[in-house]
Amino acid sequence: MIALHVPVGPLGCNCSILGDPEGGEAIVVDGGDDVEWIASILDEHKLRPKYLVHTHAHFDHIGALGALRERVGGEGLLHPADRPLYARLAEQGRWVGLPITLAPAKLDGDLEDKLVLQAGSVRLTCIHTPGHTPGSTSFAVEVDGRPRILSGDTLFRGSVGRWDLGGTSLEDIVHSIRTRLFEYADATVVIPGHGPATTIGDERTGNPYLV
């Protein structure tokens, strides 16, 4: 299995490319910017996306959906609880002081809790983890026989996501992490929406928001 994680856009959103090297199908998670770079990686590995999925509806995670889908194909999916936030995509640049104007692209379908998306040998399980946004969704995938979590902006190394940009509350974020992500073993690698990787064990014992 191919599992690549690359930062895209001005905020360094971690985009994940998960692919089946034999069949060539792939899932792209949070392809929010740098469409041509993502396309070049897919081309290099001879992958074609079946799904373009998004952890949540902030512009750095979903802003390039329309352009990326037109360039590489795939179905664009988002949790329905984030559709109102996605409709405000054009406003979001102002929230963080960036001159960004984007229009939401048409979505092809919805993510839901426990939904399993399959692209060849890649099986991606959706985990609804609200807090950072109402529809925030983490994803679990097995890489080399071990689970890996793509946590979006819910869980970071030593921190958790903001809840003041269309989110709900810190309490909701903490609850989502403790009841959903902490179900996984301590050795499970976590790829956050920004910044370096961590593990469930490190966050369970050392994250000041969670201990």
Query: What is the C-alpha to C-alpha distance for residues 199 and 70, in angstroms, rounded to an integer?
Result: 35
Q: Residue 189: its pLDDT value, please?
A: 98
Tens digit of pLDDT for each residue in 101-142?
Answer: 788 999 999 999 999 999 999 999 999 999 999 999 999 999
Tell whether the model's pLDDT for residue 90 goes beyond 90. Answer: no
Amino acid at 183: E
Helix (H) or strand (E) holding 108: none
For residue 77, give the 3-state DSSP assignment: strand
Query: What is the C-alpha to C-alpha distance for residues 25 and 49, in angstroms, rounded to an integer?
Result: 6
Residue ranges and CATH numbers for the domains of the chain are 2-206 (3.60.15.10)
Total count of residues recorded for the chain: 211
Q: Specify the pTM.
A: 0.96
Beta-bridge partner residues of 6: 15
Question: Taken in order 9, 15, 20, 22, is the CA torsion positive or negative?
Answer: positive
